[in-house]
Structure 1
Amino acid sequence: MRSTIMLLAPAVLAAATPALAQTAPTMVPDGTLLDVSAEGRTSRVPDVATIRAGVVTQGQTAAAALSENATRMTRVLAALRQAGVATRDIRTASVSLSPQYRYTDGQPPAVTGYQASNSVSIRFRDVAKSGSILDALVAQGANQIDGPTLSLDKPEAALDEARTDAVRIARSRAELYAKAAGLSVARIVTISENGANDGSSPQPPMYAIARVMKNSESTPIAAGETQVSVTVSVRFLLK
Protein backbone atom coordinates (compact mmCIF):
# COMPACT_ATOMS: atom_id res chain seq x y z
CA MET A 1 0.00 0.00 0.00
CA ARG A 2 1.73 3.18 -1.21
CA SER A 3 0.58 6.75 -1.45
CA THR A 4 2.06 10.09 -2.48
CA ILE A 5 0.58 13.53 -1.93
CA MET A 6 0.95 16.98 -3.45
CA LEU A 7 -0.59 20.10 -1.94
CA LEU A 8 -1.22 22.94 -4.40
CA ALA A 9 -2.25 26.35 -3.10
CA PRO A 10 -4.37 28.57 -5.40
CA ALA A 11 -1.57 31.14 -5.61
CA VAL A 12 0.79 28.53 -7.08
CA LEU A 13 -1.74 27.56 -9.75
CA ALA A 14 -2.41 31.20 -10.61
CA ALA A 15 1.31 31.89 -11.04
CA ALA A 16 1.56 29.04 -13.56
CA THR A 17 -1.32 30.29 -15.73
CA PRO A 18 0.66 32.83 -17.86
CA ALA A 19 2.79 30.00 -19.27
CA LEU A 20 -0.36 28.63 -20.96
CA ALA A 21 -0.73 31.56 -23.35
CA GLN A 22 -2.08 29.41 -26.20
CA THR A 23 -4.81 27.73 -24.14
CA ALA A 24 -7.86 28.78 -22.16
CA PRO A 25 -7.08 29.92 -18.61
CA THR A 26 -7.37 27.28 -15.90
CA MET A 27 -10.27 27.77 -13.53
CA VAL A 28 -8.90 27.60 -9.97
CA PRO A 29 -11.46 26.48 -7.35
CA ASP A 30 -11.94 28.45 -4.16
CA GLY A 31 -9.82 26.31 -1.89
CA THR A 32 -6.65 24.24 -1.79
CA LEU A 33 -5.96 21.32 -4.12
CA LEU A 34 -4.43 18.11 -2.76
CA ASP A 35 -3.11 15.37 -5.08
CA VAL A 36 -2.90 11.85 -3.65
CA SER A 37 -1.61 8.73 -5.43
CA ALA A 38 -2.60 5.42 -3.81
CA GLU A 39 -2.38 1.72 -4.60
CA GLY A 40 -5.23 -0.64 -3.78
CA ARG A 41 -4.75 -4.40 -3.55
CA THR A 42 -6.68 -7.61 -3.20
CA SER A 43 -5.76 -11.32 -3.30
CA ARG A 44 -7.11 -14.18 -5.36
CA VAL A 45 -6.24 -17.84 -5.95
CA PRO A 46 -5.07 -18.22 -9.58
CA ASP A 47 -7.40 -20.40 -11.64
CA VAL A 48 -5.39 -20.61 -14.88
CA ALA A 49 -1.88 -21.98 -15.46
CA THR A 50 -0.12 -21.31 -18.75
CA ILE A 51 2.78 -23.63 -19.53
CA ARG A 52 4.90 -23.98 -22.65
CA ALA A 53 5.86 -27.52 -23.59
CA GLY A 54 7.95 -28.49 -26.55
CA VAL A 55 10.04 -31.04 -28.38
CA VAL A 56 13.69 -30.58 -29.35
CA THR A 57 15.20 -33.13 -31.74
CA GLN A 58 18.55 -33.65 -33.46
CA GLY A 59 19.26 -35.10 -36.91
CA GLN A 60 22.08 -35.52 -39.39
CA THR A 61 20.02 -33.60 -41.94
CA ALA A 62 17.43 -30.83 -41.63
CA ALA A 63 14.75 -33.16 -42.99
CA ALA A 64 15.58 -35.87 -40.46
CA ALA A 65 15.47 -33.44 -37.53
CA LEU A 66 12.12 -31.99 -38.67
CA SER A 67 10.60 -35.41 -39.36
CA GLU A 68 11.48 -36.77 -35.91
CA ASN A 69 10.25 -33.55 -34.32
CA ALA A 70 6.92 -33.70 -36.17
CA THR A 71 6.34 -37.31 -35.12
CA ARG A 72 6.94 -36.61 -31.45
CA MET A 73 5.03 -33.32 -31.48
CA THR A 74 2.01 -35.06 -33.01
CA ARG A 75 2.00 -37.46 -30.05
CA VAL A 76 2.28 -34.55 -27.61
CA LEU A 77 -0.72 -32.76 -29.15
CA ALA A 78 -2.74 -35.98 -29.12
CA ALA A 79 -1.94 -36.45 -25.42
CA LEU A 80 -3.16 -32.93 -24.68
CA ARG A 81 -6.48 -33.52 -26.40
CA GLN A 82 -6.87 -36.91 -24.77
CA ALA A 83 -6.34 -35.23 -21.38
CA GLY A 84 -9.29 -32.93 -22.13
CA VAL A 85 -7.41 -29.71 -22.94
CA ALA A 86 -9.62 -27.68 -25.30
CA THR A 87 -8.29 -26.84 -28.76
CA ARG A 88 -8.69 -23.10 -28.03
CA ASP A 89 -6.26 -23.50 -25.10
CA ILE A 90 -3.44 -24.93 -27.27
CA ARG A 91 -1.42 -22.49 -29.35
CA THR A 92 1.86 -22.91 -31.23
CA ALA A 93 4.46 -20.76 -29.47
CA SER A 94 7.55 -21.27 -31.63
CA VAL A 95 9.05 -23.43 -34.40
CA SER A 96 12.75 -23.35 -35.25
CA LEU A 97 15.40 -25.24 -37.21
CA SER A 98 19.10 -24.48 -36.90
CA PRO A 99 22.41 -26.11 -37.91
CA GLN A 100 24.76 -27.41 -35.24
CA TYR A 101 28.48 -26.66 -35.63
CA ARG A 102 31.78 -28.14 -34.52
CA TYR A 103 34.48 -25.55 -33.91
CA THR A 104 38.18 -26.38 -34.39
CA ASP A 105 41.08 -23.97 -34.00
CA GLY A 106 42.33 -22.69 -37.32
CA GLN A 107 39.46 -24.20 -39.30
CA PRO A 108 36.06 -22.92 -40.41
CA PRO A 109 33.04 -24.23 -38.45
CA ALA A 110 31.77 -27.58 -39.69
CA VAL A 111 28.07 -28.50 -39.71
CA THR A 112 27.55 -31.67 -37.66
CA GLY A 113 23.78 -31.85 -37.84
CA TYR A 114 20.56 -29.94 -37.29
CA GLN A 115 18.31 -29.16 -34.35
CA ALA A 116 14.56 -28.74 -34.69
CA SER A 117 12.32 -27.27 -32.01
CA ASN A 118 8.54 -26.95 -31.75
CA SER A 119 6.68 -25.72 -28.66
CA VAL A 120 3.07 -24.99 -27.75
CA SER A 121 1.56 -22.68 -25.15
CA ILE A 122 -1.07 -24.50 -23.08
CA ARG A 123 -3.71 -22.95 -20.84
CA PHE A 124 -4.77 -25.25 -18.01
CA ARG A 125 -8.10 -24.19 -16.53
CA ASP A 126 -7.76 -26.80 -13.76
CA VAL A 127 -4.43 -25.88 -12.16
CA ALA A 128 -4.41 -28.97 -9.94
CA LYS A 129 -4.41 -31.30 -12.97
CA SER A 130 -1.69 -29.50 -14.93
CA GLY A 131 1.16 -31.43 -13.29
CA SER A 132 -0.18 -34.86 -14.23
CA ILE A 133 -0.82 -33.70 -17.81
CA LEU A 134 2.76 -32.47 -18.08
CA ASP A 135 3.98 -35.90 -17.03
CA ALA A 136 1.87 -37.43 -19.80
CA LEU A 137 3.45 -35.04 -22.31
CA VAL A 138 6.92 -36.09 -21.24
CA ALA A 139 5.98 -39.71 -21.75
CA GLN A 140 4.91 -38.85 -25.32
CA GLY A 141 8.17 -37.11 -26.25
CA ALA A 142 8.11 -33.57 -24.80
CA ASN A 143 11.58 -32.69 -23.51
CA GLN A 144 11.25 -28.97 -22.80
CA ILE A 145 9.00 -27.20 -20.28
CA ASP A 146 8.69 -23.49 -19.59
CA GLY A 147 6.38 -22.29 -16.85
CA PRO A 148 3.96 -22.14 -15.24
CA THR A 149 2.56 -18.61 -15.48
CA LEU A 150 -0.34 -18.41 -13.02
CA SER A 151 -3.16 -15.93 -13.65
CA LEU A 152 -6.87 -15.22 -13.26
CA ASP A 153 -9.23 -16.19 -16.06
CA LYS A 154 -11.58 -13.27 -15.29
CA PRO A 155 -9.75 -10.61 -13.25
CA GLU A 156 -12.31 -7.81 -13.72
CA ALA A 157 -14.07 -8.26 -10.35
CA ALA A 158 -10.74 -8.38 -8.49
CA LEU A 159 -9.50 -5.28 -10.32
CA ASP A 160 -12.68 -3.39 -9.37
CA GLU A 161 -12.16 -4.42 -5.75
CA ALA A 162 -8.59 -3.08 -5.90
CA ARG A 163 -9.85 0.18 -7.47
CA THR A 164 -12.33 0.64 -4.62
CA ASP A 165 -9.55 -0.01 -2.12
CA ALA A 166 -7.26 2.52 -3.85
CA VAL A 167 -9.88 5.29 -3.73
CA ARG A 168 -10.64 4.48 -0.09
CA ILE A 169 -6.95 4.75 0.79
CA ALA A 170 -6.60 8.01 -1.15
CA ARG A 171 -9.56 9.57 0.64
CA SER A 172 -8.31 8.41 4.02
CA ARG A 173 -4.94 10.03 3.32
CA ALA A 174 -6.59 13.21 2.10
CA GLU A 175 -8.65 13.49 5.27
CA LEU A 176 -5.52 12.92 7.35
CA TYR A 177 -3.58 15.71 5.65
CA ALA A 178 -6.58 18.03 5.59
CA LYS A 179 -7.06 17.63 9.34
CA ALA A 180 -3.35 18.24 9.94
CA ALA A 181 -3.61 21.46 7.89
CA GLY A 182 -6.73 22.66 9.69
CA LEU A 183 -8.92 22.04 6.63
CA SER A 184 -11.55 19.54 5.51
CA VAL A 185 -12.11 17.55 2.32
CA ALA A 186 -14.82 19.28 0.30
CA ARG A 187 -14.96 16.97 -2.72
CA ILE A 188 -13.02 14.97 -5.28
CA VAL A 189 -12.01 17.02 -8.32
CA THR A 190 -10.54 14.30 -10.58
CA ILE A 191 -9.66 10.59 -10.50
CA SER A 192 -7.27 8.89 -12.93
CA GLU A 193 -5.96 5.34 -13.09
CA ASN A 194 -2.18 5.09 -13.44
CA GLY A 195 -1.68 1.35 -13.80
CA ALA A 196 -2.96 -2.08 -12.87
CA ASN A 197 -1.66 -5.60 -12.27
CA ASP A 198 -4.24 -8.28 -13.11
CA GLY A 199 -2.51 -10.91 -10.98
CA SER A 200 -0.41 -12.61 -13.64
CA SER A 201 2.83 -14.05 -12.27
CA PRO A 202 6.15 -13.24 -13.96
CA GLN A 203 7.45 -15.70 -16.55
CA PRO A 204 9.66 -18.24 -14.75
CA PRO A 205 12.89 -19.68 -16.19
CA MET A 206 13.12 -22.84 -18.28
CA TYR A 207 13.06 -26.06 -16.27
CA ALA A 208 15.09 -29.09 -17.23
CA ILE A 209 12.76 -31.92 -18.18
CA ALA A 210 15.13 -34.46 -16.67
CA ARG A 211 14.01 -33.33 -13.21
CA VAL A 212 10.41 -34.17 -14.08
CA MET A 213 11.25 -37.56 -15.52
CA LYS A 214 13.13 -38.63 -12.36
CA ASN A 215 10.06 -38.02 -10.24
CA SER A 216 7.83 -41.10 -10.06
CA GLU A 217 4.92 -39.08 -8.68
CA SER A 218 2.84 -36.50 -10.53
CA THR A 219 4.62 -33.16 -10.92
CA PRO A 220 3.09 -30.82 -8.28
CA ILE A 221 1.79 -27.39 -9.31
CA ALA A 222 0.73 -25.17 -6.37
CA ALA A 223 -1.50 -22.20 -7.19
CA GLY A 224 -0.98 -20.22 -3.97
CA GLU A 225 -2.31 -16.64 -4.03
CA THR A 226 -1.72 -13.78 -6.43
CA GLN A 227 -1.90 -10.05 -5.80
CA VAL A 228 -4.17 -7.86 -7.92
CA SER A 229 -3.41 -4.14 -7.67
CA VAL A 230 -4.49 -0.81 -9.14
CA THR A 231 -2.85 2.62 -8.71
CA VAL A 232 -4.95 5.77 -8.91
CA SER A 233 -4.30 9.51 -8.65
CA VAL A 234 -7.03 11.51 -6.95
CA ARG A 235 -7.24 15.32 -6.73
CA PHE A 236 -9.17 16.64 -3.74
CA LEU A 237 -10.48 20.12 -2.98
CA LEU A 238 -9.81 21.17 0.60
CA LYS A 239 -11.53 24.04 2.36
Structure 2
Amino acid sequence: MQMRLRQRMAAGVLVAALAGPAFAQVSDPAAGSLAAATLTVMGEGRVDQAPDMARITLGVTTEGPTAAEALTANSAEIAKVIENLKAAGVAPADLQTTGLALNPNWQSNMDDGTNRIVGYVASNSVSVQVRALEGLGAVLDAAVRDGANTLNGVEFTLQDPDPALDEARKRAVADAQHRAALLAGAAGVTLGPIRSITESGGYQPPMPMMSMAAEAKGGVPMAAGSVTTAAQVTIIWALAP
Protein backbone atom coordinates (compact mmCIF):
# COMPACT_ATOMS: atom_id res chain seq x y z
CA MET A 1 0.00 0.00 0.00
CA GLN A 2 2.85 2.42 0.87
CA MET A 3 4.51 1.62 -2.48
CA ARG A 4 1.30 2.39 -4.41
CA LEU A 5 0.88 5.66 -2.52
CA ARG A 6 4.43 6.74 -3.37
CA GLN A 7 3.84 5.89 -7.06
CA ARG A 8 0.65 7.95 -7.08
CA MET A 9 2.37 10.97 -5.52
CA ALA A 10 5.25 10.71 -7.99
CA ALA A 11 2.78 10.69 -10.88
CA GLY A 12 1.14 13.79 -9.48
CA VAL A 13 4.46 15.62 -9.34
CA LEU A 14 5.22 14.62 -12.94
CA VAL A 15 1.89 15.96 -14.22
CA ALA A 16 2.41 19.30 -12.48
CA ALA A 17 5.92 19.62 -13.90
CA LEU A 18 4.76 18.90 -17.45
CA ALA A 19 1.84 21.28 -17.36
CA GLY A 20 3.28 24.35 -15.69
CA PRO A 21 1.40 26.35 -13.06
CA ALA A 22 -0.57 28.38 -15.61
CA PHE A 23 -2.37 25.40 -17.09
CA ALA A 24 -2.57 22.43 -14.75
CA GLN A 25 -2.30 21.43 -11.14
CA VAL A 26 -2.42 18.05 -9.43
CA SER A 27 -3.71 17.71 -5.90
CA ASP A 28 -2.95 14.58 -3.89
CA PRO A 29 -3.32 15.33 -0.16
CA ALA A 30 -0.97 13.21 1.88
CA ALA A 31 -3.62 12.72 4.51
CA GLY A 32 -6.30 11.74 2.04
CA SER A 33 -7.03 8.68 -0.02
CA LEU A 34 -5.82 8.05 -3.56
CA ALA A 35 -9.32 8.83 -4.83
CA ALA A 36 -8.90 12.43 -3.60
CA ALA A 37 -6.21 13.19 -6.21
CA THR A 38 -7.34 15.71 -8.84
CA LEU A 39 -6.05 17.33 -12.01
CA THR A 40 -6.93 20.99 -12.73
CA VAL A 41 -6.54 22.27 -16.28
CA MET A 42 -7.34 25.60 -17.92
CA GLY A 43 -8.45 25.69 -21.55
CA GLU A 44 -8.92 28.58 -23.96
CA GLY A 45 -11.05 28.91 -27.06
CA ARG A 46 -10.90 31.64 -29.71
CA VAL A 47 -13.11 32.50 -32.66
CA ASP A 48 -11.99 34.91 -35.40
CA GLN A 49 -14.52 36.35 -37.81
CA ALA A 50 -15.25 39.41 -39.89
CA PRO A 51 -17.01 42.25 -38.03
CA ASP A 52 -20.48 43.36 -39.07
CA MET A 53 -20.69 46.69 -37.23
CA ALA A 54 -18.52 49.71 -36.49
CA ARG A 55 -18.69 52.31 -33.73
CA ILE A 56 -17.25 55.76 -34.31
CA THR A 57 -17.10 58.76 -32.00
CA LEU A 58 -16.96 62.14 -33.66
CA GLY A 59 -17.83 65.67 -32.73
CA VAL A 60 -17.65 69.40 -33.20
CA THR A 61 -15.48 71.94 -31.41
CA THR A 62 -16.24 75.65 -31.82
CA GLU A 63 -14.99 78.90 -30.35
CA GLY A 64 -16.81 82.15 -29.54
CA PRO A 65 -16.21 85.43 -27.75
CA THR A 66 -18.88 84.53 -25.19
CA ALA A 67 -20.07 81.25 -23.72
CA ALA A 68 -23.50 81.68 -25.31
CA GLU A 69 -22.06 82.34 -28.77
CA ALA A 70 -19.69 79.37 -28.58
CA LEU A 71 -22.48 77.04 -27.49
CA THR A 72 -24.95 78.38 -30.06
CA ALA A 73 -22.47 77.91 -32.89
CA ASN A 74 -21.63 74.42 -31.66
CA SER A 75 -25.29 73.41 -31.45
CA ALA A 76 -25.90 74.53 -35.01
CA GLU A 77 -22.90 72.59 -36.32
CA ILE A 78 -23.65 69.36 -34.45
CA ALA A 79 -27.26 69.53 -35.66
CA LYS A 80 -26.00 69.58 -39.26
CA VAL A 81 -23.69 66.66 -38.56
CA ILE A 82 -26.54 64.59 -37.13
CA GLU A 83 -28.80 65.38 -40.08
CA ASN A 84 -26.05 64.35 -42.51
CA LEU A 85 -25.56 61.09 -40.64
CA LYS A 86 -29.26 60.33 -40.84
CA ALA A 87 -29.26 61.14 -44.54
CA ALA A 88 -26.35 58.70 -44.96
CA GLY A 89 -28.53 55.91 -43.57
CA VAL A 90 -27.71 55.93 -39.86
CA ALA A 91 -30.83 55.20 -37.78
CA PRO A 92 -31.71 57.68 -35.01
CA ALA A 93 -31.41 54.85 -32.46
CA ASP A 94 -27.75 54.43 -33.48
CA LEU A 95 -26.88 58.05 -32.61
CA GLN A 96 -26.10 59.07 -29.04
CA THR A 97 -24.60 62.21 -27.53
CA THR A 98 -21.65 61.12 -25.38
CA GLY A 99 -20.04 64.39 -24.36
CA LEU A 100 -20.85 68.09 -24.06
CA ALA A 101 -18.39 70.62 -22.66
CA LEU A 102 -18.01 74.40 -22.45
CA ASN A 103 -14.74 75.89 -21.19
CA PRO A 104 -13.08 79.29 -21.07
CA ASN A 105 -10.17 79.92 -23.39
CA TRP A 106 -7.39 81.38 -21.25
CA GLN A 107 -4.54 83.49 -22.55
CA SER A 108 -1.36 84.10 -20.56
CA ASN A 109 0.41 87.45 -20.46
CA MET A 110 4.14 86.75 -20.47
CA ASP A 111 4.95 90.29 -19.29
CA ASP A 112 3.10 90.33 -15.97
CA GLY A 113 2.26 86.63 -15.55
CA THR A 114 -1.50 87.20 -15.50
CA ASN A 115 -4.17 85.15 -17.25
CA ARG A 116 -7.37 86.35 -18.84
CA ILE A 117 -10.31 84.81 -20.64
CA VAL A 118 -10.28 85.65 -24.35
CA GLY A 119 -13.24 83.50 -25.36
CA TYR A 120 -14.94 80.17 -24.89
CA VAL A 121 -14.62 76.70 -26.42
CA ALA A 122 -17.65 74.42 -26.80
CA SER A 123 -17.42 70.75 -27.78
CA ASN A 124 -20.03 68.10 -28.45
CA SER A 125 -19.36 64.46 -29.32
CA VAL A 126 -21.66 61.82 -30.78
CA SER A 127 -21.32 58.03 -30.79
CA VAL A 128 -22.43 56.45 -34.08
CA GLN A 129 -23.16 52.79 -34.77
CA VAL A 130 -22.77 51.81 -38.42
CA ARG A 131 -24.46 48.49 -39.18
CA ALA A 132 -23.70 48.44 -42.92
CA LEU A 133 -19.91 48.43 -43.15
CA GLU A 134 -19.92 48.92 -46.90
CA GLY A 135 -21.21 52.42 -46.25
CA LEU A 136 -18.81 53.32 -43.44
CA GLY A 137 -16.61 55.53 -45.60
CA ALA A 138 -19.61 57.44 -46.88
CA VAL A 139 -20.85 57.95 -43.33
CA LEU A 140 -17.52 59.46 -42.32
CA ASP A 141 -17.60 61.75 -45.35
CA ALA A 142 -21.11 62.87 -44.46
CA ALA A 143 -20.07 63.60 -40.88
CA VAL A 144 -17.17 65.90 -41.77
CA ARG A 145 -18.86 67.57 -44.74
CA ASP A 146 -20.61 70.25 -42.68
CA GLY A 147 -19.06 70.60 -39.27
CA ALA A 148 -17.53 67.54 -37.61
CA ASN A 149 -13.90 68.39 -36.87
CA THR A 150 -12.97 65.74 -34.28
CA LEU A 151 -12.79 61.98 -34.75
CA ASN A 152 -11.88 59.75 -31.80
CA GLY A 153 -11.38 56.43 -33.54
CA VAL A 154 -13.24 53.55 -35.15
CA GLU A 155 -14.05 50.28 -33.35
CA PHE A 156 -15.09 47.21 -35.35
CA THR A 157 -17.28 44.72 -33.51
CA LEU A 158 -20.17 42.25 -33.78
CA GLN A 159 -23.83 43.12 -33.58
CA ASP A 160 -24.56 39.79 -31.86
CA PRO A 161 -21.45 38.31 -30.19
CA ASP A 162 -23.33 35.46 -28.46
CA PRO A 163 -22.91 32.79 -31.21
CA ALA A 164 -19.17 33.47 -31.39
CA LEU A 165 -18.92 33.37 -27.60
CA ASP A 166 -20.79 30.05 -27.42
CA GLU A 167 -18.39 28.55 -29.97
CA ALA A 168 -15.40 29.94 -28.07
CA ARG A 169 -16.67 28.28 -24.90
CA LYS A 170 -16.98 24.93 -26.70
CA ARG A 171 -13.44 25.26 -27.98
CA ALA A 172 -12.19 26.16 -24.51
CA VAL A 173 -13.70 22.97 -23.06
CA ALA A 174 -12.23 20.90 -25.90
CA ASP A 175 -8.84 22.51 -25.30
CA ALA A 176 -8.98 21.67 -21.60
CA GLN A 177 -9.99 18.08 -22.36
CA HIS A 178 -7.10 17.71 -24.79
CA ARG A 179 -4.59 19.07 -22.27
CA ALA A 180 -5.93 16.85 -19.50
CA ALA A 181 -5.74 13.70 -21.62
CA LEU A 182 -2.19 14.55 -22.71
CA LEU A 183 -0.99 15.25 -19.18
CA ALA A 184 -2.65 12.20 -17.71
CA GLY A 185 -1.18 9.96 -20.42
CA ALA A 186 2.31 11.39 -19.92
CA ALA A 187 2.07 10.83 -16.17
CA GLY A 188 0.66 7.34 -16.47
CA VAL A 189 -2.55 8.13 -14.60
CA THR A 190 -6.20 7.78 -15.55
CA LEU A 191 -8.73 10.57 -15.63
CA GLY A 192 -11.83 10.06 -13.57
CA PRO A 193 -15.10 12.03 -13.63
CA ILE A 194 -15.18 15.81 -13.90
CA ARG A 195 -15.69 17.45 -10.53
CA SER A 196 -16.24 21.04 -11.64
CA ILE A 197 -16.21 23.35 -14.67
CA THR A 198 -15.70 27.08 -14.16
CA GLU A 199 -15.62 29.84 -16.74
CA SER A 200 -12.52 31.54 -15.42
CA GLY A 201 -11.93 35.23 -15.83
CA GLY A 202 -15.10 35.84 -17.83
CA TYR A 203 -14.40 36.22 -21.54
CA GLN A 204 -12.66 38.58 -23.91
CA PRO A 205 -15.09 40.68 -25.91
CA PRO A 206 -14.53 40.97 -29.64
CA MET A 207 -11.16 42.63 -30.26
CA PRO A 208 -10.08 44.11 -33.60
CA MET A 209 -7.29 42.43 -35.53
CA MET A 210 -6.35 44.31 -38.68
CA SER A 211 -5.71 41.58 -41.23
CA MET A 212 -8.32 41.81 -43.98
CA ALA A 213 -8.98 44.89 -46.11
CA ALA A 214 -12.58 46.00 -46.43
CA GLU A 215 -13.75 48.22 -49.26
CA ALA A 216 -15.49 51.42 -48.23
CA LYS A 217 -17.39 52.58 -51.28
CA GLY A 218 -17.66 56.27 -51.96
CA GLY A 219 -15.71 57.47 -48.94
CA VAL A 220 -12.71 57.13 -46.65
CA PRO A 221 -10.86 53.81 -47.23
CA MET A 222 -11.14 51.55 -44.17
CA ALA A 223 -9.72 48.17 -43.09
CA ALA A 224 -12.27 46.19 -41.09
CA GLY A 225 -9.97 43.25 -40.39
CA SER A 226 -11.34 40.54 -38.12
CA VAL A 227 -12.47 40.40 -34.51
CA THR A 228 -11.55 37.75 -31.95
CA THR A 229 -13.90 36.42 -29.29
CA ALA A 230 -12.22 34.36 -26.57
CA ALA A 231 -13.32 32.33 -23.55
CA GLN A 232 -11.52 30.44 -20.78
CA VAL A 233 -12.62 27.53 -18.63
CA THR A 234 -11.05 25.71 -15.71
CA ILE A 235 -11.95 22.02 -15.33
CA ILE A 236 -11.10 19.77 -12.39
CA TRP A 237 -10.94 16.01 -12.94
CA ALA A 238 -10.72 13.33 -10.31
CA LEU A 239 -7.91 10.87 -10.92
CA ALA A 240 -8.99 7.27 -10.99
CA PRO A 241 -7.51 5.19 -8.14
Is the TM-score greater than 0.5?
Answer: yes
Distance 2:143 2:163 in 1: 34
> How far off its partner does 1:52 sit?
0.6
Q: 1:7 aligns with which of 11, 26, 51?
A: 26
Q: 1:98 aligns with which of 87, 103, 108?
A: 103
**Which position in structure 2 is the counterpart of 1:79?**
84
Q: 1:154 aligns with which of 135, 155, 160?
A: 160
> How far off its partner does 1:228 sit?
0.8
**Which position in structure 1 is the counterpart of 2:53?**
48
- TM value normalised by structure 2: 0.82
**Which position in structure 2 is the counterpart of 1:39?**
44
Distance 1:42 1:9 in 2: 35
Distance 1:201 1:61 in 2: 42
> How far off its partner does 1:231 sit?
1.0
Task: Provide closer, same or farther for how the CA distance between residues 183 and 29 of structure 1 changes in structure 2, counting only shifts above 3 A.
Answer: closer
Matching residue's letter, 1:221: M
Q: What percent of counterpart residues are identical?
A: 37
Distance 1:201 1:96 in 2: 30
Structure 2 contact 208–225 (Cα < 8 Å) conserved: no
Pairs within 5 Å for 1:53-202:
53-105=58-110, 106-194=112-200, 195-201=202-208
User: Is 1:227 paired with 2:234?
Assistant: no
Matching residue's letter, 1:234: I
Structure 1 contact 10–33 (Cα < 8 Å) conserved: no
Matching residue's letter, 2:120: Y
Distance 1:46 1:121 in 2: 18
Task: Provide closer, same or farther for how the CA distance between residues 29 and 163 of structure 1 changes in structure 2, counting only shifts above 3 A.
Answer: farther
Distance 1:118 1:201 in 2: 26
> How far off its partner does 1:83 sit?
1.3
Deviates more, 1:192-201 or 1:227-236: 192-201
Unpaired stretches in structure 2, ≥5 consecutive residues: 1-19, 210-217
> How far off its partner does 1:80 sit?
1.2
Unpaired stretches in structure 1, ≥5 consecutive residues: 15-27, 203-216
Structure 1 contact 103–110 (Cα < 8 Å) conserved: yes
> How far off its partner does 1:221 sit?
1.9
Structure 1: 4+ residue segments shifted above 6 A: none
> How far off its partner does 1:185 sit?
1.4
Structure 2 contact 53–130 (Cα < 8 Å) conserved: yes
Secondary structure at the residue paired with 1:11? coil
Matching residue's letter, 1:4: F
> How far off its partner does 1:29 sit?
8.0
